[in-house]
Protein backbone atom coordinates (compact mmCIF):
# COMPACT_ATOMS: atom_id res chain seq x y z
CA UNK A 1 0.00 0.00 0.00
CA UNK A 2 2.81 2.36 0.90
CA UNK A 3 4.54 1.54 -2.37
CA UNK A 4 1.42 2.60 -4.29
CA UNK A 5 1.35 5.88 -2.36
CA UNK A 6 5.01 6.50 -3.21
CA UNK A 7 4.37 5.72 -6.88
CA UNK A 8 1.37 8.05 -6.85
CA UNK A 9 3.41 10.82 -5.24
CA UNK A 10 6.23 10.36 -7.73
CA UNK A 11 3.76 10.48 -10.62
CA UNK A 12 2.26 13.69 -9.28
CA UNK A 13 5.68 15.26 -8.74
CA UNK A 14 6.86 14.31 -12.22
CA UNK A 15 3.66 15.72 -13.74
CA UNK A 16 4.14 18.92 -11.74
CA UNK A 17 7.73 19.25 -12.94
CA UNK A 18 6.66 18.71 -16.55
CA UNK A 19 3.93 21.33 -16.23
CA UNK A 20 6.36 23.74 -14.57
CA UNK A 21 8.55 23.66 -17.67
CA UNK A 22 5.52 24.19 -19.92
CA UNK A 23 4.18 27.12 -17.89
CA UNK A 24 7.53 28.76 -17.35
CA UNK A 25 8.81 31.02 -14.60
CA UNK A 26 6.59 33.97 -15.51
CA UNK A 27 3.38 32.48 -14.10
CA UNK A 28 3.97 33.77 -10.59
CA UNK A 29 4.98 37.18 -11.90
CA UNK A 30 1.94 37.49 -14.15
CA UNK A 31 -0.45 36.43 -11.36
CA UNK A 32 1.06 38.98 -8.98
CA UNK A 33 0.95 41.71 -11.65
CA UNK A 34 -2.72 40.98 -12.29
CA UNK A 35 -3.50 41.18 -8.58
CA UNK A 36 -1.70 44.52 -8.29
CA UNK A 37 -3.45 45.90 -11.38
CA UNK A 38 -6.83 44.97 -9.93
CA UNK A 39 -5.89 46.53 -6.59
CA UNK A 40 -4.75 49.72 -8.33
CA UNK A 41 -8.00 49.92 -10.30
CA UNK A 42 -10.07 49.48 -7.13
CA UNK A 43 -7.97 52.00 -5.21
CA UNK A 44 -8.22 54.53 -8.03
CA UNK A 45 -12.00 54.39 -7.85
CA UNK A 46 -12.19 54.39 -4.04
CA UNK A 47 -9.60 57.06 -3.19
CA UNK A 48 -10.55 60.69 -3.79
CA UNK A 49 -7.66 63.04 -4.43
CA UNK A 50 -7.66 66.83 -4.57
CA UNK A 51 -6.01 66.99 -8.00
CA UNK A 52 -8.82 65.38 -9.97
CA UNK A 53 -12.34 66.78 -10.01
CA UNK A 54 -14.90 64.54 -8.39
CA UNK A 55 -16.77 62.23 -10.73
CA UNK A 56 -20.49 61.83 -10.43
CA UNK A 57 -21.17 58.24 -9.42
CA UNK A 58 -24.74 57.00 -9.41
CA UNK A 59 -23.97 54.21 -6.98
CA UNK A 60 -22.45 56.52 -4.38
CA UNK A 61 -25.26 59.04 -4.75
CA UNK A 62 -27.93 56.36 -4.39
CA UNK A 63 -26.06 54.86 -1.46
CA UNK A 64 -25.93 58.19 0.35
CA UNK A 65 -29.59 58.87 -0.40
CA UNK A 66 -30.96 55.44 0.51
CA UNK A 67 -28.87 54.89 3.64
CA UNK A 68 -29.21 58.36 5.16
CA UNK A 69 -31.32 58.55 8.32
CA UNK A 70 -33.58 61.32 7.08
CA UNK A 71 -34.25 59.95 3.59
CA UNK A 72 -33.75 56.19 3.97
CA UNK A 73 -36.75 55.49 6.20
CA UNK A 74 -39.29 57.52 4.20
CA UNK A 75 -38.10 55.93 0.95
CA UNK A 76 -38.31 52.47 2.52
CA UNK A 77 -41.84 53.17 3.79
CA UNK A 78 -42.85 54.49 0.37
CA UNK A 79 -41.51 51.38 -1.36
CA UNK A 80 -43.24 49.09 1.16
CA UNK A 81 -46.50 51.01 0.68
CA UNK A 82 -46.27 50.65 -3.10
CA UNK A 83 -45.55 46.92 -2.78
CA UNK A 84 -48.48 46.49 -0.39
CA UNK A 85 -50.81 48.43 -2.70
CA UNK A 86 -49.67 46.41 -5.71
CA UNK A 87 -50.24 43.21 -3.77
CA UNK A 88 -53.81 44.18 -2.87
CA UNK A 89 -54.81 45.71 -6.21
CA UNK A 90 -52.84 43.15 -8.20
CA UNK A 91 -54.62 40.30 -6.44
CA UNK A 92 -57.98 42.00 -7.05
CA UNK A 93 -57.62 41.99 -10.85
CA UNK A 94 -57.28 38.21 -11.33
CA UNK A 95 -60.01 37.64 -8.73
CA UNK A 96 -62.34 39.96 -10.66
CA UNK A 97 -61.58 38.16 -13.92
CA UNK A 98 -62.26 34.76 -12.36
CA UNK A 99 -65.49 36.03 -10.79
CA UNK A 100 -66.62 37.51 -14.11
CA UNK A 101 -65.82 34.26 -15.87
CA UNK A 102 -67.67 32.12 -13.33
CA UNK A 103 -70.66 34.45 -12.94
CA UNK A 104 -70.86 35.03 -16.69
CA UNK A 105 -71.04 31.26 -17.29
CA UNK A 106 -73.63 30.57 -14.59
In this prediction, residue 93 has a pLDDT band, given cuts at 50, 70 and 90, of confident
Same domain? 1 vs 51: yes
Q: Indicate if the pLDDT at residue 3 is higher than 90.
A: no
* 3-state SS, residue 59: helix
CB atoms within 10 A of CB 72: 13
Q: Which domain holds residue 102?
A: 56-106
- Residue 53, pLDDT above cutoff 70: no
Q: Does 69 share its domain with 28?
A: no
CA–CA distance, 60 with 68 (Å, rounded to integer): 12
DSSP letter string over 75-98?
Answer: HHHHHHHHHHHHHHHHHHHHHHHH
**According to the model, what pLDDT value does residue 38 have?**
95
pTM listed for this prediction: 0.41
Contact predicate 42/35, CB 8 Å: no
Asked if 10 and 51 sit in the same domain, the reply is yes
Instruction: Looking at the structure, tell me whether residues 83 and 102 fall in a common domain.
Output: yes
Residues 30, 45: one domain? yes
Amino acid sequence: MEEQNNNGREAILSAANALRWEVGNDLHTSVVETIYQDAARIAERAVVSEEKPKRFDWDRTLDRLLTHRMTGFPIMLLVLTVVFWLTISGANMPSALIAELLIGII
